[in-house]
Amino acid sequence: MKVLGFESSCGETGVALVETGADGPPRLLAEALHSQVAMHAEYGGVVPEIASRRHLEAISPVIERAVADAKLSLPEVEGIAVTRGPGLVGSLLVGLSTAKALACALDIPLAGVNHIEGHIMASFLSDKKPQFPFIALVVSGGHTNVYLVNNYHQFQQLGQTRDDAAGEALDKAAKLLGLGYPGGVIIDKLSKNGNPHAFDFPRAMKDSPDFSFSGLKTSLSVMLKKRGRPFTEDELPDVVASYQEAIVDVLVQKTIRAANANTVRQLVVCGGVAANGRLRKRFARVAEEEGMELFIPPMVLCTDNAAMIAVLGEIILKNRGGDALDLNAVSRWPLVNRPS
Ligand code: KG4
Ligand code: ZN
């Protein structure tokens, strides 16, 4: 089945074509992405009104690019998948309306899918797929959740952030330090020259399955105020490496604890922050020590993309069929059990 996927929940306009056969992993035929990162950088974060307008301008050329790269014509597409939520409603509506129009014009089924679930399914695009049950850590700019995934339909949430998401904590720290946006990427790079143990940042809620990162951000802000002057260029790599380490420590510790508590040996780590070099290295090390199998999508499939939406859409279309065309966008959509 050839599925055309759409992603427009935040600052990325993505379109991808994925094909699945009777066996073997889904094949990514083509993917096109327009990122608005540079446009939002001067505001230090995504501005919803600008984002939806830019999605509207970008979506047609992005579709054309993806379809041309796949060497296909639109009538060869057999199904459509689109992010329905969670996300910015104005942005979601651009993808959703386009997807509905195409589904209607081509007379093919449409699946409105959950963005968080899409991040998890990105790991199914590799040759080596995770086996159920597995533990999934979804860690991005909007989410920090741990799930026990029993099958395609059953997601049990084991932990979540009580305040900021991990990516948000990185983005806010970079802003406080005057480093720019998106903070996660900048801190990842800068921390490579720093000592992760140079500064002592708090690790909150140690004994809970839940996360909290807002105190961490506050501790950095207090540290800056007490000093009364910005960090020097020599100090910055140590500061960001230590700050990042505090985040990585709790992400690793709580995910492993969830796996052990549920006697699960397969781990999926996904979402934008899963592109982080230190996080990937620490998870690889601990998975080996614990005898667990680790699945982290390649970096381009960790941050927002449409390939993950197309893969998930194909699963949903095959198992459950399409949605009605009056489907609406939803800003909040916890990942709960879907009917099978
Ligand atoms: O999944 P994503 O693209 O969008 C959401 O669904 O939120 O994640 C974006 C988040 C941002 O907070 C960004 O700073 C973070 O992922 N991020 C990273 C890296 N690349 C993106 N954080 C740490 N290291 C990275 N390499
Ligand atoms: Zn995302």
Task: Tell me, rounded to whole angstroms, the distance of Cα 56 from its chain centroid.
Answer: 22
Q: Are 285 and 196 in contact (CB under 8 A)?
A: no
Query: What lines the ligand 1 site, CB under 6 Å?
Result: 10, 140-142, 167, 170-171, 182-185, 188, 271-273, 275-276, 303-304
Q: Are 278 and 196 in contact (CB under 8 A)?
A: yes
Distance 337 CA to ligand 2 centre (A): 20
Instruction: Give the other-Cβ count within 10 Å of 101's Cβ.
Output: 12
Q: Whose CA is nearest to atom 1 of ligand 1?
A: 272
What is the block-wise mean pLDDT of the chain (340 residues), using blocks of 10 residues? 97 96 84 96 93 98 97 96 98 98 98 97 92 98 97 93 98 96 97 98 97 98 96 98 98 98 98 98 98 97 98 93 96 75
| 110 closest CA partner among 118, 124, 98 | 98
At residue 144, the 3 state secondary structure works out as: strand
Q: Are 265 and 131 in contact (CB under 8 A)?
A: no
Closest ligand to 141 CA?
1
Distance 322 CA to ligand 2 centre (A): 23
Atom of ligand 1 nearest to the CA of 165: 12
> Which tokens hold the place of 46?
């995504």
Closest ligand to 280 CA?
1
Give the pLDDT score at 340: 46
Mutate to test the pocket of ligand 1, among 88, 92, 138, 140 (most ligand atoms within 8 A of CB): 140
Distance 319 CA to ligand 1 centre (A): 30
Q: Whose CA is nearest to atom 22 of ligand 1?
A: 184
Distance 143 CA to ligand 2 centre (A): 8
Phi, psi of 245 (to 5 degrees): -65, -35
Q: Whose CA is nearest to atom 16 of ligand 1?
A: 272
Distance 115 CA to ligand 2 centre (A): 6
pTM assigned to the model: 0.96
> Which tokens hold the place of 88?
């910015």
Distance 167 CA to ligand 1 centre (A): 5
At residue 223, the 3 state secondary structure works out as: helix
Give the pLDDT score at 337: 59
Atom of ligand 1 nearest to the CA of 170: 14
